[in-house]
Structure 1
Amino acid sequence: MTVHTTRSTLTAAVSLLVLGLAGCSSTQGGEPEPNTGRQTISAASDPLHIDQPKNLAGLTAPCQLLTPQQLQELGAGASEQDKSEWGQAACRWRNQQLAIKVSPDTVQGQGLDYTAKIYGDGSGNPNAQVSGYPAVHGGVNDLRCNVFVGVSDKQVLSVSFTTGSEGRSNPEYADPCAMADKVAGLVLSNLPPA
């Protein structure tokens, strides 16, 4: 009788322990899901998740993000070293037709989260796409547009396009966000996978 009571008590205790653990963690495929700080959203439904990340971290010269052929196609001027708002090296090309600034962000580690909350669609999601990558347009007016493209979950490519004084008659520059997206797409085509 004592063995049976002890066995019943042990079985009940193990059952409670298993139920308690099951209530504390969710699993997928037998592995506990890590707490990322985001709401639990599958990667497929998270608009900020990057399925095929690119690598900006290995860059040492942002002025080489566009090839000479691409710069000629864009009608860009000579390159100038610059700095981004977050202190990282950037590059600028400008002439009387246009100004382009390309700024990689590999230091802040926020991906598009912060930018999407400020400039996104109102719900913290991207409001654009560039070559299949989530993007956010910000600082938009008749002559200027910034596009921020998530190239990985933590890295962002920022491209600014501004129409110059002699570029206002160019119909291609009538939509500065389309031009910013075009430049960002060219840069993306040059980036290696992560």
Structure 2
Amino acid sequence: MATWFVVAALGGSERTIPGQPAPVANDPFRIERPKNLRAISDPCQLLSPQQRDQLASLPAGVPEPTPWGQQACRWRNQQLTVSISPDTVQGQGLRYTAKVVADGEPTAAVAGYPALHYGISSGSCGTFVGTSDTELVLVSFQAGSEGRNNPEYANPCVVSDKIAEMVLANLPPA
């Protein structure tokens, strides 16, 4: 009988979870440096004022609910809209999300963390990034009415990945 181990998100201890594959070196979902997404309880603090200035001088964020019952944050101006939605409550991580929105595999990487792109259209993209085996953050970008012709927004997934990298830089290690 096979034994399945998963590294716990906090503390680094191993525990058995039936049905979960053991992390291996070539696992595309492996997160070598987990982040503590729970450390920042206010999602509007996931971007610093300096980072918001880099993103077309975004105003203060507005909290909004997520479908999973956790708070997200949305920033909006005429150039762009950014929404950041942490998921520390469902406990399913990026592996499950990949089964739902992709072909079961990460489609990108952000600063060495496995990621998925979804909802890609002209001017918008969402990037899910695994921050631990059980947690993830979703960064959604959409070009605004005055940003549609901005060449920096030509590839919206590049922009959502850049913003996701900013969020990762603000998270402490798990």
TM-score by length of 1: 0.78
- Select the structure that is richer in strand: 2
- Give the aligned residue type for 1:159: V
CA contact (8 A) 2:39 2:172 kept: no
The 5-angstrom pairing of residues 75-90 of structure 1 reads 75=56, 76-90=58-72
Matched, 1:92 2:74: yes
- Give the aligned residue type for 2:83: K
Matched, 1:151 2:141: no
Q: Which residue of 2 aligns with 1:64?
A: 45
> Quick one: distance in 1 between partners of 2:148 and 2:133?
36
* CA gap 1:89/1:34 in 2 versus in 1, 3 angstroms: closer
Higher relative contact order (CA 8 A, sep 6+): 2
* CA gap 1:25/1:160 in 2 versus in 1, 3 angstroms: closer
Structure 2: 5+ residue runs without aligned partners?
A: 4-14
Deviation, 1:113, is 1.7
> Quick one: distance in 1 between partners of 2:156 and 2:23?
34
CA contact (8 A) 2:78 2:147 kept: yes
* CA gap 1:36/1:64 in 2 versus in 1, 3 angstroms: same
* Aligned counterpart for 2:100 among listed residues 110, 118, 121: 118
Deviation, 1:82, is 1.2
Deviation, 1:35, is 5.3
Deviation, 1:25, is 5.8
> Quick one: distance in 2 between partners of 1:103 and 1:131?
18
Deviation, 1:192, is 0.1
Q: Which has the larger Rg?
A: 1
CA contact (8 A) 2:39 2:171 kept: no
- Select the structure that is richer in helix: 1
Large movers: runs of 4+ above 3 Å: 33-36
* Aligned counterpart for 1:181 among listed residues 137, 158, 161: 161
> How many residue pairs were aligned?
163
Q: Which residue of 1 aligns with 2:54?
A: 73
> Quick one: distance in 2 between partners of 1:25 and 1:113?
20
* CA gap 1:176/1:108 in 2 versus in 1, 3 angstroms: same
* CA gap 1:25/1:78 in 2 versus in 1, 3 angstroms: closer
- Give the aligned residue type for 2:97: T
* Aligned counterpart for 1:101 among listed residues 70, 73, 83: 83
- Among the aligned pairs, what percent are the same residue? 53
Q: Give the root-mean-square deviation of aligned CA atoms.
A: 1.9
* CA gap 1:169/1:107 in 2 versus in 1, 3 angstroms: same
- Give the aligned residue type for 1:58: A
> Quick one: distance in 1 between partners of 2:72 and 2:94?
18
Deviation, 1:78, is 2.9
* CA gap 1:73/1:150 in 2 versus in 1, 3 angstroms: same
Q: Which residue of 2 aligns with 1:55?
A: 36
- Give the aligned residue type for 2:76: R
